[in-house]
Structure 1
Amino acid sequence: MSINADKNTELYNECTTGDAEGNETTPLLSNGSAPTRVKGASFASSVFNLMNAIMGSGILGLAYAMASTGIVGFCILLLVVSSLAAYSIHLLLKLCDQTGINSYEDLGGRALQKPGKVLVGIAIVIQNIGAMSSYLFILKSELPAAINSFLTSHGTGDAWYQDGRLLLIIVTICIVLPLSMSPKIGFLGYTSSIAFFFMLYFAVVVVVKKWSIPCPLPHNVTTHQDTFQTSNSSDSECTPKLFVISRKSAFAIPTMAFSFLCHTAILPIYCELDRPTKKRMQNVTNVSISLSLLLYLISALFGYLTFYSHVYSELLLGYDAYLRHDIMVTTVRLAILLSVLLTVPLIQFPARKAVILLLRGSRPFSWPVHIIVTLLILGVVLLLAIFVPDIRHVFGLVGSTTSSCLLFVFPGIFYLKISGRPLKTFDSIGALLLVVFGLIMGIISLSVIVITWAQSS
């Protein structure tokens, strides 16, 4: 899930669309009146905004996905998922031009009436809750590590500031909750842009530090998650695997789907684009996804080539045992923590808005409802972050369900229901294959993940 996948949700009602005929060269202006639209965002600015929407916590789990599928297997899957993501956006943009609708929920309503709108709203709520849980999980695991990096010794681990769950509760109540209570997204939208540069810095650190950790891994090294099997450490462990097939591979595609989901931000960014034609917005999408794919691939590859089979499902944790006081690792950890603190309230905003719309419709604003829904959402997210033992479970479960629906299934179904094009046309066949792929991927991944959980418990 992206850091800012929903930061433009507030713009849904501010965007205007036109040309019910679906002309690809007709800008999204107004409903038949004279054009009054002010100059919108430039092409480069829109690319940055969409990349900012794509990049998120998924980048921390992609090295583990590569270790679970092999380098070549990972590259193939990443290319397939990113290409399908771009194609599903192509279908959404065509529907936007054809119908004049500029929100994902309303497309669901047009395609499947009220049940469709409710279904999309529920999927967005679950997706955002999963994204917030992944961020709070990062906070739970990285905050004690950040504190330890400033200490002269590891200590016993019994101090309160080394308890990730306690720190998570304190930070959530003292920082996240007050920021989340604001009824307007306001300043959080501006500060969120910094998070993209944090992710870029993260990728740079992963590349640089690949040569700071020897392979085979040092002996007698243990961490709070796993004990490395040093008795089997050998040069063979430093040979990268090209293809890997195991139960862990079931987490790979959901993690990738989680990482490329930006579809709820596409239409608002389309509305903001200067000279917003479908072709121009598709170019924005292709450039953004290509650059994000490159950044994902670099960070995953060098993360995997640093730890090989011992790579963590949350990559930064792997550096604790070897580069505990390293300045670059410490600064990137602090940068990630800061982005998490600024992002969770941002993602909570559209989740709360969707819940209130599902429960109350378009009734006037109510502070009691606003507060209760905010507390309920953060309570659920906090419980998930506290009790989920591994971030890959969040990526796997959310990625195989709501991410696959929002990324593959819904765009295909909406196009087939709304476009009115014959089933033999290229896009209709593509939409059908998109639905089939999303359902098969989601069902197989979810089944293997559930079976793995049952056997491990």
Structure 2
Amino acid sequence: MEELARESISLLARSASHADPPRLGSYGAVFIMLKSALGAGLLNFPWAFEKAGGVTTAISVELVSLVFLISGLVILGYASSVSRQKTYQDVVREVCGRAVGQLCEVCFCFNLFMISVAFLVVVQDQLEKLCVSLYETVTGLSESEVPHHWYTDQRFALFIMCLLIILPLSIPKEIGIQKYTSVLGTLAATYLCVAVIVKYYLMDTHAAIITPEHIQGVSSWASMFSVVPTICFGFQCHEACIAIYSSMENQKLCHWVVISVLSMLFCLLIYTLTGVYGYMTFGQAVASDILMSYQGNDVVMIISRLLFGISIVTIYPIILLLGRSVILNLMLRAQRSRRGLVTHSFESRCRVVLTVAWITSTLLIAMFVPDMADVISVIGGISAFFIFIFPGMSKFNSVPV
């Protein structure tokens, strides 16, 4: 899912709520879909290819999953046109009922929370490599000779970054930086894809072990399906698709099918190329974060780390804003029903408390999570609700009897 340019959701939803006429063209729709899907999930694909049992198996699972991914997008567009709602949660609530709508909001909020954790894990990994690279450059020592102090620990660096950068960016009610950073995630993903391919062909020898660990039996099937959470996380743009569909000039269903197919095919190309060449470069030794497999002093990958780091630091507040808005609306609704009105000071206090609590909890989890793959497996499971379950329920309930 994140991966996650979630600012597209808030921007489009805001324009929809103001009843602006739809102005989004075909190219813009495809681009925003790509922004919503391409991101940090790309880092995990080479590892997923290794766990799936090799290139052939992983691509086969991708292609099968692609059918369901596109079907989900088409169903959501159809449900939006039938219900005349402009956000994912509103469509599910209108089509499937209030109870399912509330479940959707809970899943939506928890999904954003786990995406925030994944983002901090990625930043922490990149900080580790960047700090080692900087120390090697300054002192001339090798990575194995770098001394460990509390102030050189990447977890301390992550804490400082959250305190001095992410927290100030996240507290405001509106986050204007989203207007200028929306393309960074897509740029980082595209750059990484090209860099992985180029690095593979620049290698003197290709000695990586690419023989699958599980050739047949139950273990091979389990390994094959282990790639599904990564696919769900990587291709996750379904929460944004209804806002995108509602903002399009041409809202014919056949046109939306074309937009969905093109978007998913572009994503498939980027993810598959990165997965194939990353796996062929490192084989069974590939890390769950592909950037961690490269040397810390590799200039090409340092640029990629910086791109991903900057994009995540700027997108994290937007993820927080979306998740916080769900919880804050519930708190304001409860306050309004109890007191009859909501003061500005109450709203501000709630916003600050929720922001600090969100950052603190995601930071603590990110500091002690053993592996990025563990976080993505959770996110992929939650994403299945938005990609498979809720669209299926919407299709079932929106078809006239």
CA distance in 2, matches of 1:243, 1:293: 25
User: Does structure 2 conserve the Cα–Cα contact (< 8 Å) formed by 1:91 and 1:415?
Assistant: yes
User: Would you say how many aligned residue pairs link Structure 1 and Structure 2?
Assistant: 380
**Cross-structure match for 2:171:** 181
Code of the residue aligned with 1:106 in structure 2: it is D
1:240 to partner: Cα distance: 7.1
CA distance in 1, matches of 2:379, 2:371: 13
User: Does structure 1 conserve the Cα–Cα contact (< 8 Å) formed by 2:8 and 2:32?
Assistant: no
Give deviations 1:248-284, integer Å, cap 9, x for gaps.
5553111111111111111111122233322222211
**Cross-structure match for 1:75:** 59
CA distance in 1, matches of 2:153, 2:202: 28
Match of 1:336 among 303, 308, 326: 308
**Cross-structure match for 2:380:** 399
Match of 1:54 among 18, 37, 62: 37
CA distance in 1, matches of 2:250, 2:74: 17
1:203 to partner: Cα distance: 0.4
**Cross-structure match for 1:4:** 5
CA distance in 2, matches of 1:247, 1:174: 43
Alignment of 1:39-438 (within 5 A): 40-69=23-52, 70-150=54-134, 151=136, 152-153=140-141, 154=143, 155-160=145-150, 162-213=152-203, 214-216=205-207, 237=209, 245=220, 248-320=223-295, 324-361=296-333, 364=342, 366-400=347-381, 402-421=382-401
User: Does structure 1 conserve the Cα–Cα contact (< 8 Å) formed by 2:46 and 2:290?
Assistant: yes
CA distance in 1, matches of 2:293, 2:168: 32
Code of the residue aligned with 1:315 in structure 2: it is I
Give deviations 1:157-184, integer Å, cap 9, x for gaps.
4144541211111111111111111211
TM-score normalised by length of structure 1: 0.78
CA distance in 2, matches of 1:16, 1:143: 39
User: Does structure 1 conserve the Cα–Cα contact (< 8 Å) formed by 2:61 and 2:225?
Assistant: no
Report which stretch shifted further, 88-97 or 147-156. Answer: 147-156
Give deviations 1:392-426, integer Å, cap 9, x for gaps.
001112212x11111100110122123324xxxxx
User: Does structure 1 conserve the Cα–Cα contact (< 8 Å) formed by 2:128 and 2:154?
Assistant: yes
Code of the residue aligned with 2:287 in structure 1: it is Y
Code of the residue aligned with 1:417 in structure 2: it is N
For the aligned residue pairs, the C-alpha RMSD in angstroms reads 2.3
User: Does structure 2 conserve the Cα–Cα contact (< 8 Å) formed by 1:7 and 1:189?
Assistant: no
Give deviations 1:332-379, integer Å, cap 9, x for gaps.
111111111111111111111112233433955610111111112112
Cα distance change, pair 190–163 in 1 and its aligned pair in 2 (3 A):
same
Q: Structure 2: which 5+ runs fail to align?
A: 337-341
1:297 to partner: Cα distance: 0.2
User: Does structure 1 conserve the Cα–Cα contact (< 8 Å) formed by 2:233 and 2:383?
Assistant: yes
CA distance in 1, matches of 2:167, 2:398: 40
1:102 to partner: Cα distance: 1.2
Code of the residue aligned with 2:73 in structure 1: it is I
Code of the residue aligned with 2:12 in structure 1: it is L
1:193 to partner: Cα distance: 1.3
Structure 1 or 2: more helix by fraction? 2
User: Does structure 2 conserve the Cα–Cα contact (< 8 Å) formed by 1:5 and 1:261?
Assistant: no
CA distance in 2, matches of 1:118, 1:259: 25
CA distance in 1, matches of 2:33, 2:116: 19
Code of the residue aligned with 2:58 in structure 1: it is F
Give deviations 1:51-110, integer Å, cap 9, x for gaps.
000112111111111101121110011112222111011111111111111111112222
CA distance in 1, matches of 2:391, 2:101: 13
CA distance in 2, matches of 1:79, 1:288: 14
Give deviations 1:188-223, integer Å, cap 9, x for gaps.
243121221111001011001113454436xxxxxx
Q: Which of 1 and 2 has higher RCO (CA within 8 Å, sep 6+)?
A: 2
User: Does structure 1 conserve the Cα–Cα contact (< 8 Å) formed by 2:112 and 2:320?
Assistant: yes
Give deviations 1:7-39, integer Å, cap 9, x for gaps.
32353354279xxxxxxxxxxxx8xxxxx836x
Give deviations 1:202-247, integer Å, cap 9, x for gaps.
1011001113454436xxxxxxxxxxxxxxxxxxx25578967275
User: Does structure 1 conserve the Cα–Cα contact (< 8 Å) formed by 2:184 and 2:307?
Assistant: no
User: Does structure 1 conserve the Cα–Cα contact (< 8 Å) formed by 2:214 and 2:223?
Assistant: no
Cα distance change, pair 144–417 in 1 and its aligned pair in 2 (3 A):
same
1:131 to partner: Cα distance: 1.0
User: Does structure 2 conserve the Cα–Cα contact (< 8 Å) formed by 1:133 and 1:394?
Assistant: yes
1:380 to partner: Cα distance: 1.9
Secondary structure, counterpart of 2:207 in structure 1:
coil
CA distance in 2, matches of 1:200, 1:284: 20
